[in-house]
Amino acid sequence: MLVAHGDEGGCYSLYGGERPAFAYDEYGRHHETDAGPLAPGPHPITLSATAEEGLRRRCTVTVDGEERAAPGGAHQLIGMAPFQGISLGVDRESPVSPPLYERRRSFRHTGGIRSVTYHPGPPTPTPRRWSPPR
């Protein structure tokens, strides 16, 4: 586990060793995207989330500056979600990915993490109409 934010009610995580992956839970709908294999050694991995109309977001995962994964759009985490904060190097408490938790438990990262940085982007476009996920 590199970084996990939230819990089973709405969350995301970036994890993996030789194959980084991005997982997110869209209010009970679980999604997972593989970013492909890595060569040995350190790699900068970036997760970007862009706000879209309708309170949606689009995420991309880049490795060494190359886009590796771009899962479909999802509803943004809004209101009180997520209840659990940001975890680095492990996913404790309520797991982001129940299937991953079943396979790897809290999945402690054993390599080095140099830094995790959050940069806020532009605000969400004014929503025209919001409907809950189906």
Give the confidence band of 82 by pLDDT, cuts at 50, 70, 90: low
Which residue matches tokens 């408490």?
A: 93
Residue type, 112: G
Q: What is the mean pLDDT of residues 54-75?
A: 85
Position 6 scores a pLDDT of 75
Residue 56 has pLDDT above 60, yes or no: yes
Q: What is the mean pLDDT of residues 37-56?
A: 86
Position 10 scores a pLDDT of 74
CA distance 31 to 71: 8
Q: What is the mean pLDDT of residues 12-18?
A: 80
pTM of the entire structure? 0.72
Secondary structure (DSSP) of 36-94: ----SS---EEEEEEEETTTEEEEEEEETTEEEE-PPPEEPP-TT--SS-EEES---SS
Give the confidence band of 66 by pLDDT, cuts at 50, 70, 90: very high
Position 127 scores a pLDDT of 57
